[in-house]
Structure 1
Amino acid sequence: MTLAAHKILIIGGGFSGMSAAIELRKRGAEVDLVELDADWRNYGAGISLGGATLRAFDQLGILDDYLREGSAADGVALHLPDGTPIGLLPTPRVARPDVPGGGAILRPVLARILANATRASGTQVRLGTTFTEIRQDEEGVEIDFTDGKRQRYDLVIGADGLYSKTREAIFPDAPKPRYTGQAVWRAVLPRPQAVKTATMWMGRVKPGVNPVSATQMYLFVTEHRPVNERVDPQDFPTLLRGLLADFPDPLLQGIRDQIGADSQIVFRPLEGLLVPQPWHRGRVVLIGDTVHATTPHLASGACIGIEDALVLADELASTDALDTALRAFQARRWERCRMVVENSFRLGEIEMANGSKEEHAGIMRASLMALAQPI
């Protein structure tokens, strides 16, 4: 089998890095993955996923595991603050005809599914380890690791997230993450029978819920926070309940009443990043949040990172010329990733300014249709 790089190192064990490991092992590559966190944890509550993400899961071979442990449904139900329905945003079925067009799952559960698949693929996983130095020449890349080892690879993939150490080493002048002026709250709560699919309320803030299993859902709320400042976790329940006070819908008020100290509340200021091309230098290439971290307005940040992994493996298997493969990878990914990052930012701007709901809905529909197209 043609493969432009046979011995590959992946730096970072998040969704993108694990997906790259799984797919590259299918193509016959020898893959090492290093992850700084010795416990390989994934923090967070739920994660909403569109049909394009479920399609990527199908290619990776984890879709059935996802469907067993997560939730899938069609459409996003939109409501006024009092609960009046105002529409159903369609979510195309792009994974398989029998698989709904969207869904959600708890982040730690998805991380476990991917970690199990990564180990089962034959990837050599080393936890509590990262690099200290990268040196490359025309023939390969030599890596010094924090555990004292030194190894040589044909290709290094940086998938170590928004504050990537790999990006700093390879592209020291790349843009830095920037705060968008919004924050998102998430919490895990019991799932009322009335919540069948992703549901959102249009108001001063944008709350929503999405089932993550047969018995649980997660709540998400975006709010305008002009200053990125620390919030005391002890105040999380009170502040989150306060954001929902102006929504008289009995369903949402019932959800509000359930928020407490045991609701696994996560507060995250929203930051983003879009690194201009190139995304590779020599034999080191960057994928996922390392080069295109997005806000959650299109529920597609994980999607485009996982797609990066699939496309990179595809291009590496299409030629024995590494530079050709990496340039083809960038060409296929740029426009799609740019669209997600910039459209997500624009949706946030509209929300903060209480702007045009028609523009907001139009961007959502156009983006979801674009994501349904093949990668």
Structure 2
Amino acid sequence: MPVQKVLVVGGGITGSVLSLALTQRGAEVELVEISPQWFGVGHGITIQGNALKALRSVGVLDRVLARAVPFDVMRLRHADGSLIAQLDTPHTGGPDLPSTAGALRSDLQNALCDAVHAHGVTVRLGLSVERLADSPEHVDVTFTDGSTGRYDLVVGADGLNSRIRTLIGIETTPSPVGMSIFRVVAPRPAEMDCAEVYYGGPRYKAGYSPISPDQCYAYLLDENLDTSLIGPHAPISLLRERGAGYGGTWGRVISSLPEDTAVDYRWIESVLIDGPWHRGRTIVVGDAAHACPPLIAQGAAMCTEDAVLLAELVTGEMPVDKALEQFMTRRLPRVRMVMENSLQLADWEIHPGTPGADPARIMSETLDSLTAAA
């Protein structure tokens, strides 16, 4: 019997796409988000074709692409900006969609928020889950404000440090990959028409992507620096210091930033629940179940694929337990492949000169394999 009433915990990309997909299939959805305000935040995001396919299935693609920058190639450059190669990128969402789009994360999230409200999803802000009581027929939930609810299914889409994952007794936790990332939004130079990555400099690599008609997202992958730097207000002087040695467009973008530019600095962490992501009628998806280094840019794609497939299966004719088993059968091998290949790329970045290292092959094989349906 298909689920009728679903609680989605977490209002980010995964939870929003899931709420839309469930609602469009006739489920009654309640979404709770721990933040008291719900709107788009963050820096740039790379949306691969299979993520664009998922966004199209829930009706928000046109709005996202109205502001995003689609492209079908990427360029590899030396640290001084000279060209190594231009590569065609696979159309993982099918031939009728761009292979990739760069977007402001806020533009994507705002489109999703508006669509969730327009579809009549009940949204409750400043709230999370305190306790879960699972039974064969339902899940009873006690929220952090003392209120309660009964649901056919509870989905934790509450991110890397998921509370729902802990509440259902899954002990897997995130671990540092061994690299960190500086991220910044900057004015987009006229010549920037696709994502470009700079190799051979003093850090692991630098790069950027156009994300709107007038903005770009630039980043630097570095070793893990002091944890006191972690957050959205790292000094621009530090980014310039660590990025010294990268020229070309990347160097010009960073040098042109004003002194008060907001620089986000994070250690990169990964997590993979290498087994069932569900206990009874509660399941975690998206970054709560799997989060990988951003070296193949499949984070949003894996999360949105989770959401669309889960909605399809739990609103079908299978009993919930069978639907969740089928979901795991289809998702875990695909997610594991992306995770293992992303971690391999990270290891090669951290240990340059590793015999047999071939990042271009791994990236190409991964994206080619993802052209198959999720």
Deviates more, 1:229-238 or 1:272-281: 229-238
- The Cα shift of 1:244 comes to 2.4
Alignment correspondent of 2:71: 73
Deviates more, 1:123-132 or 1:142-151: 142-151
What letter corresponds to residue 53 of structure 2 in structure 1? Answer: R
Deviations 1:13-71 (A, max 9, x none): 11111111000001100100001101124542101121111111111211111111211
Note if contact 2:183-2:264 (Cα within 8 Å) is conserved in structure 1: yes
- The separation in 1 between residues aligned to 2:63 and 2:365, in whole angstroms, is 30
* Corresponding position: 1:194 with 2:214: no
- The separation in 2 between residues aligned to 1:118 and 1:208, in whole angstroms, is 33
Of 264, 267, 287, the match for 1:266 = 264
- The Cα shift of 1:339 comes to 1.3
Alignment correspondent of 2:214: 215
Alignment correspondent of 1:361: 360
- The Cα shift of 1:95 comes to 3.7
Note if contact 1:228-1:269 (Cα within 8 Å) is conserved in structure 2: no
Alignment correspondent of 1:170: 168
Alignment correspondent of 1:160: 158
Note if contact 1:58-1:95 (Cα within 8 Å) is conserved in structure 2: no
Alignment correspondent of 1:371: 370
- The Cα shift of 1:235 comes to 5.1
* Corresponding position: 1:182 with 2:179: yes
Deviations 1:248-269 (A, max 9, x none): 43x2321121133443311111
What letter corresponds to residue 316 of structure 2 in structure 1? Answer: S
* Corresponding position: 1:58 with 2:56: yes
Corresponding residue SS for 1:199? strand
* Alignment size in residue pairs: 370
- The separation in 1 between residues aligned to 2:328 and 2:226, in whole angstroms, is 32
- The Cα shift of 1:99 comes to 3.4
Alignment correspondent of 1:4: 2
- The separation in 1 between residues aligned to 2:44 and 2:88, in whole angstroms, is 21
Corresponding residue SS for 2:254? helix
Note if contact 2:17-2:55 (Cα within 8 Å) is conserved in structure 1: no
Of 110, 124, 134, the match for 2:108 = 110
- The separation in 2 between residues aligned to 1:364 and 1:16, in whole angstroms, is 24
Corresponding residue SS for 2:295? helix
Corresponding residue SS for 1:188? strand
- The Cα shift of 1:317 comes to 2.8
What letter corresponds to residue 152 of structure 2 in structure 1? Answer: D
Note if contact 1:8-1:154 (Cα within 8 Å) is conserved in structure 2: yes
Deviations 1:71-99 (A, max 9, x none): 11111111111222111232223446453
Taking only aligned residues, the RMSD between alpha carbons, in angstroms, comes to 1.7
- The separation in 2 between residues aligned to 1:11 and 1:283, in whole angstroms, is 14
- The separation in 1 between residues aligned to 2:28 and 2:129, in whole angstroms, is 18
What letter corresponds to residue 23 of structure 1 in structure 2? Answer: A
Q: Give me the TM-score of the superposition, normalised by structure 2.
A: 0.94
What letter corresponds to residue 63 of structure 2 in structure 1? Answer: D
What letter corresponds to residue 19 of structure 1 in structure 2? Answer: V
Deviations 1:253-292 (A, max 9, x none): 2112113344331111100101121111111011011110
Corresponding residue SS for 2:209? strand
Corresponding residue SS for 2:228? coil
Note if contact 1:45-1:265 (Cα within 8 Å) is conserved in structure 2: no
Deviations 1:201-226 (A, max 9, x none): 1123211110011111010111122x
- The Cα shift of 1:320 comes to 3.7
Alignment correspondent of 2:25: 27
Gaps of 5+ in 2: none
What letter corresponds to residue 185 of structure 1 in structure 2? Answer: F
Corresponding residue SS for 1:312? helix
- The Cα shift of 1:355 comes to 3.2
Deviations 1:276-329 (A, max 9, x none): 211111110110111101111111111101110111011113324110100000
